[in-house]
Amino acid sequence: MNKIDKKQKINNDLIPLIGKKKEIIGFEEKNTIHEKGILHSAVSVFIFNMKNDLMIQKRSFNKYHSSLLWTNTCCSHPKKHESLLDAAHRCLINEMGFDCFLKKKFCFIYNELLNNGLIENELDHVFVGYYEKNPNINYKEVNNWDWISVKKLIQNIQVNPKSYTIWLKIIINKYINKLLKK
């Protein structure tokens, strides 16, 4: 599927644009944001079990970027007038079919060109939760899922980095201590 075909599949909700002081300065459609590389808000959710294994997902083929790559439990963008926490819960319910208590751990900015010419320029807000059951995945959003130890995930990313999303690699490589800090 080429860039234009994938662009047509984008849900064009208005996404918060972020200014120099990390404040919301406006709203724009998702396709415009990713085509122009405009700094915008995102949420990433990491769900662990009591053994500290991470629930990861393989993104659906239908995703407009990073399809069929392994990533954190789920991720999304807040919609206009939606809180970051509400966006994280919405995403968890929509993609993984469950909800649980979430706590915001940290945020960071990254700017990366994706393989299909789109640009991720995000202020990514990272949330962590704990859950013991298996998810009920939405196959329109998620191709597969698994529990994995953080140690094994780090090893897998080193051996096969092209199998993982850019934001997961950044979080695991740069922020793992913040992610696991209780």
Residues annotated as part of the active site: 75, 122
The torsion defined by the Cα of 97, 58, 39 and 98, in degrees rounded to 10, comes to 10
Beta bridge partners of 110: 122
Q: Which amino acid is at 84?
A: L
Q: What is the DSSP string of 130-172?
A: E--SPP---TTTEEEEEEEEHHHHHHHHHH-GGGB-HHHHHHH
